[in-house]
Amino acid sequence: MEKIAPLIKRALPHVGAILLFLVVNSLFFYPQFEGLQTSQYDSVEGVGKNQEVWDHRRATGEEALWTNSIFVGMPSFYNGLRYDNYLTYVEDILQLFFNRPIGFFMVYMVVFYFSMLFMKLKPLEAMLSAVAFGMATNNIILYDSGHMSKVGTIMYSPFMIAGLYLLVR
């Protein structure tokens, strides 16, 4: 028990930060608990773009690597192609097993929080900056409009920046 107490004391700010992120996201995106979602017009439009790839998957059981549904044709890895990898499990953990939007904005905040800790910010400073980063207007607008590739890129970019910072240091 004597060895566990210091670990618990060191973990408390981080557990508190994650709970704060959960509360902020749950309050801001409360309609998700009632089954409501934003329309995300780009995602709705994407259903039509992805239909050819999905139909091919259903008919053959294989992934289509090209689609003629967009422009004059393009590789389907931009849309509709299914990737099977283990990183989805890591993302589920970062999202605390919540669906979007709460899960996505949890990732925004958790990734930014730990990135700031890697850069030697104090937990309180990292916590407040993570909430500010997660709830930045641009992030909400990009999510609402359905620009999910941009959302995913911005979501994990703090890890890349922190990694570069640590590399240079």
Distance CA 5, CA 157 (A): 34
Contact 79, 57 (CB under 8 A): no
pLDDT higher at 137 or 84: 137
Contact 129, 121 (CB under 8 A): yes
* The pLDDT of residue 81: 66
Query: Tokens 């904005």 belong to which residue?
Result: 105
* Residue 107, helix vs strand vs coil: helix
CA triple 93-141-164, angle to 5 deg: 55
Tell me the range of 55-69, 84-98, 114-128 where mean pLDDT is highest. Answer: 114-128
- The structure's pTM equals 0.80
Instruction: Tell me the two tokens of residue 71.
Output: 């422009």
What is the identity of the amino acid at 14?
Answer: H
Distance CA 160, CA 152 (A): 13
Residues 59-82: what's their mean pLDDT?
Answer: 75
Neighbours of 79 (CB within 10 A): 17
Kindly calculate the radius of gyration of the chain based on its CA atoms and give it in whole angstroms. Answer: 19
Name the pLDDT band for 2 (thresholds 50, 70, 90): confident
* The pLDDT of residue 62: 85
Q: If residue 126 lies in a helix (H) or strand (E), which one and from where to where?
A: helix 123-134
Q: Is residue 107 predicted with pLDDT exceeding 90? A: yes
* The pLDDT of residue 36: 80
Collect all residues with Cβ–Cβ distance below 8 Å to 33 and sequence separation of at least 6: 26
* The pLDDT of residue 117: 96
CA 119 remoteness from chain centre: 21
pLDDT tens column, 9-60:
889 999 999 999 999 999 999 988 888 877 776 666 666 777 778 888 889 9
Q: Is residue 80 predicted with pLDDT exceeding 80? A: no
* The pLDDT of residue 44: 65
* The pLDDT of residue 28: 93
- Give which of 49, 52, 34 is closest to 146, Cα–Cα: 49
